[in-house]
Amino acid sequence: MSDLKNKEVVNSTDPEVGDSYSVTHNEPLESGSRWQRFKDSFKTMEDEEIDSSNMTDLEKAIAKTAKSPLHKSLKNRHLQMIAIGGAIGTGLFIGSGGALKTGGPAALLIGWGLVGTMIYATVQALGELAVTFPISGAFNVYSTRFIDPSWGFAMGWNYALQWLVVLPLELVAASITIKYWNSHINPVAWVAIFYVLIVAINFFGVKGYGEAEFVFSFIKVVAVIGFIILGIILNCGGGPQGGYIGGKYWHDPGAFANGFKGVCTVFVTAAFSFAGTELVALASSESANPRKALPRATKQVFWRITLFYIISLTLIGLLVPYTDERLGQGSYNAAASPFVIAIRNAGISGLPSVINVVIMIAVLSVGNSSVFGCSRTITSLAAQGFAPSFFTFVDRKGRPIFAVLLSLFVGLLCFVSASDKQGDVFDWLLALSGLSSVFTWGSACFAHIRFRAALKHQGRDPHTELAYTSQCGVIGSWYGFILNVLILIAQFWVAAFPLKSKSTADGFFKSYLAFPVVIAFYIFHKIWKKNWRLYVKVSEMDLDTGRAEHDLELLKVEIAEEKAYIASKPFYYRAYRFWC
């Protein structure tokens, strides 16, 4: 008997996935003992060979990333929660406190508002590209295809480095949150427990990541909504103590703490708080039906920015004066969270511990995402010929085993927490890729601009042959690209001339080392591959390999029918479909 069976799903109506779709792949037969099935799951995934003998390096990269053997196990609810709760973390719960102290409540809204609009435009651009090309590696491959292979190499490795460093850092941070309750137990013990938890989650592949993020994000979302309700009550004088607050802290001590430079500092902090937003696009290649699930997920970003960031930060600015000495006292110290400070000022006991639990969950969520983000990026880099080929190995459960093991191996740096030099170690590790997200977002916007330029040059209409188009269009991508450049400029200014402190070479490179690192990766690839072209010409761009739909004529008919169906519906339904 063959040890493989063909599994076909045709015209599925699974409510978790969406409308009809077709999938065909091979799975091992559920035969033999449980131990035998466990061992067999680590065998290589059966995958079709690609004849690349007559291909250029760019054509090989496009073909191999389009034929990834990763499992498509993520459902609609997974992508929804990854999109809604993916970037709700310490940047919001704790980082916003330091930003409030630096810039004041008005700067808080200006910084997060501007960056939020940029993120929305960026995710819309990524959504269009990911629905059209749900390929392994997503945004770093888009840079390779639509900008330049050398830039794709630099973006891929910089993004992978970011997540490599984040795992040990977040594990140490999770152990720090425990000190809020108990400072006597050695934090290394908690680090070991959290490390084993992350390993266990990723042992279950993309399904484990999806389910864990669904739970983590759900808890974070509930916590933020709960705080918004509580914040409104406290501001109106409904707390045990403090009385009516209103907008008095906007008058005394004031709306701005340090003028324009304070706003620029908040601008940079806000950008880093949104790191991880792009993961929904990376996850599209492992989604059961990206054409239906991803547009809904990208539209959720608007609500996340509006509801979870702007409203909660508005309340923070109303409830906590920027002169409060507890603000900005440590990156992972729950006592420094403006959420905790607001609750304590109102005389409520017990809830600060709940907020600390949420902070710990948020930290673990980022740690879990780091393994996913790093492993998928490394696998994609290997498929493009930018990393050792053994990283392309994917087992029968759809796990990129060697890439996951690399991430988990580097994660062992978390045990540096036993050393008194842990701060210096992590500061410099983070410096290597500190600007990664900004580069990734800017590159995604520019890749979308180039993709649309190629469509226009080749006489193709995006509105008739793309299943999903960015609601912000090319103008939104230009806006996102320019704003990311401004963030890099603002970060340079803040790093070179820090607020209320002396400028030092050490401080500058801890904030801006990632910039020369990216340039070094770019130049290295130019020399290594002897790729002296600065960009891929729009006339030479491959706009078809890796597309989710191969029959473009059928797709055009389906798009026209879908638009006609929506147009026939009442206004409230059309509005719902536009925003949700």
Count: domains in the chain:
2
Given a cut of 80, whether residue 37 has pLDDT beyond it is no
How does residue 242 score in pLDDT terms, banded at 50, 70 and 90?
confident
User: 276 lies in a domain?
Assistant: yes
**486-524: pLDDT as tens digits:** 999 998 998 888 887 788 888 888 888 889 999 999 999
Residue 388's pLDDT is 92
* Residue 74 backbone phi and psi in degrees, to 5: -75, 130
**199-213: pLDDT as tens digits:** 999 888 888 888 998
Q: Is 3 helix (H, G, I), strand (E, B) or coil?
A: coil
* Residue 10 backbone phi and psi in degrees, to 5: -125, 135
Q: Percent of the chain scored above 70 by pLDDT?
A: 87
Which residue matches tokens 């460093």?
165
Query: What is the maximal distance between C-alpha atoms in the chain?
Result: 79
Residue 308's pLDDT is 81
- Of residues 407 and 175, more confidently modeled: 407
Q: Same domain, yes or no, for 432 and 508?
A: yes
Contact (CB, 8 A) for 444 and 284:
no
Q: Same domain, yes or no, for 75 and 198?
A: yes
**pLDDT average, residue stretch 411-418:** 82
Structure tokens at 24: 């065909």
Q: What is the DSSP string of 529-577?
A: HT---SS--GGG---STT-S-S-HHHHHHHHHHHHHHHHTS-HHHHHHH
Judge residue 260's burial from the number of C-beta atoms within 10 Å of its C-beta, 0-12 exposed, 13-18 middle, 19 or more buried: exposed
pTM: 0.87
**pLDDT average, residue stretch 129-137:** 84
Given a cut of 50, whether residue 351 has pLDDT beyond it is yes
User: 426 lies in a domain?
Assistant: yes
**pLDDT average, residue stretch 157-174:** 88
Any residues with CB less than 8 A from the CB of 491 and at least 6 apart, and which? Answer: 268, 435, 438, 511, 512
User: 565 lies in a domain?
Assistant: yes
| Average of per-residue pLDDT values in the chain | 83
Lowest mean pLDDT among 2-11, 36-45, 117-126, 400-409: 2-11
Highest mean pLDDT among 111-120, 291-300, 343-352: 111-120
Q: How many CB atoms lie within 10 A of CB 367?
A: 26
Given a cut of 60, whether residue 429 has pLDDT beyond it is yes
Residue 54's pLDDT is 64
Q: Same domain, yes or no, for 485 and 558?
A: no
Strand partners, 22: 10
Rounded CA-CA distance 476/158 in Å is 25
Residue 135's pLDDT is 80
CA-to-CA dists, residue 524 to 154, 512, 529, angstroms: 9, 19, 9
User: 137 lies in a domain?
Assistant: yes
At residue 238, what is the residue type?
Answer: G
Q: What is the DSSP string of 179-193?
A: TTT-SSS-HHHHHHH
Structure tokens at 298: 């990208």
Lowest mean pLDDT among 136-150, 260-274, 328-342, 390-404: 328-342
Rounded CA-CA distance 471/463 in Å is 11
User: 19 lies in a domain?
Assistant: no
Q: Same domain, yes or no, for 509 and 561?
A: no
Judge residue 105's burial from the number of C-beta atoms within 10 Å of its C-beta, 0-12 exposed, 13-18 middle, 19 or more buried: buried
Q: Same domain, yes or no, for 442 and 565?
A: no
Residue 157's pLDDT is 93
Contact (CB, 8 A) for 199 and 408:
yes
Residue 521's pLDDT is 95
Q: Same domain, yes or no, for 562 and 416?
A: no
Given a cut of 60, whether residue 17 has pLDDT beyond it is no
Q: How many CB atoms lie within 10 A of CB 412?
A: 13
Q: Same domain, yes or no, for 539 and 563?
A: no
Which residue matches tokens 């800017």?
442
At residue 499, what is the residue type?
Answer: L
Q: Same domain, yes or no, for 319 and 209?
A: yes
Rounded CA-CA distance 52/69 in Å is 17
Residue 405's pLDDT is 93
CA-to-CA dists, residue 384 to 23, 138, 144, 389, 401, angstroms: 25, 12, 9, 9, 18
User: 21 lies in a domain?
Assistant: no
**pLDDT average, residue stretch 435-451:** 94
**46-70: pLDDT as tens digits:** 655 565 566 666 766 676 676 767 7
Q: Same domain, yes or no, for 562 and 545?
A: no
User: 343 lies in a domain?
Assistant: yes
- Of residues 436 and 424, more confidently modeled: 436
Buried b / exposed e across 551-575, counting CB within 10 Å, b at 16+? eeeebbeebeeeeeeeeeeeeeeee
Residue 351 C-alpha from the chain's centroid: 29
CA-to-CA dists, residue 418 to 406, 411, 428, angstroms: 22, 14, 17
Q: Same domain, yes or no, for 531 and 561?
A: no
Residue 5's pLDDT is 39
CA-CA-CA-CA torsion sign (25, 30, 31, 36): positive
Q: Same domain, yes or no, for 184 and 136?
A: yes
- Structural domain boundaries enclosing 563: 552-579
How does residue 1 score in pLDDT terms, banded at 50, 70 and 90?
very low
Contact (CB, 8 A) for 242 and 249:
no
Any residues with CB less than 8 A from the CB of 62 and at least 6 apart, and which? Answer: 141, 144, 145, 542, 545, 546
How does residue 230 score in pLDDT terms, banded at 50, 70 and 90?
very high
**pLDDT average, residue stretch 384-393:** 89
Q: Same domain, yes or no, for 214 and 229?
A: yes
How does residue 296 score in pLDDT terms, banded at 50, 70 and 90?
confident
Any residues with CB less than 8 A from the CB of 537 and at least 6 apart, and which? Answer: none
Any residues with CB less than 8 A from the CB of 314 and at least 6 apart, and which? Answer: 105, 109
CATH code assigned at 382: 1.20.1740.10
Q: Is 361 helix (H, G, I), strand (E, B) or coil?
A: helix
Any residues with CB less than 8 A from the CB of 88 and at least 6 apart, and which? Answer: 217, 220, 221, 224, 304, 308, 362
Q: How many CB atoms lie within 10 A of CB 366?
A: 26
Contact (CB, 8 A) for 70 and 226:
no
**pLDDT average, residue stretch 80-86:** 75
Residue 2's pLDDT is 39
- Of residues 56 and 7, more confidently modeled: 56
Residue 16's pLDDT is 42
Given a cut of 90, whether residue 319 has pLDDT beyond it is yes
Which residue matches tokens 């004849």?
51
Any residues with CB less than 8 A from the CB of 219 and at least 6 apart, and which? Answer: 358, 361
Rounded CA-CA distance 517/526 in Å is 14
Lowest mean pLDDT among 198-207, 368-377, 426-435: 426-435
How does residue 77 score in pLDDT terms, banded at 50, 70 and 90?
confident
Which residue matches tokens 């492992």?
286
Is there a cis peptide before residue 134, judged by omega within 30 degrees of 0? no
User: 273 lies in a domain?
Assistant: yes
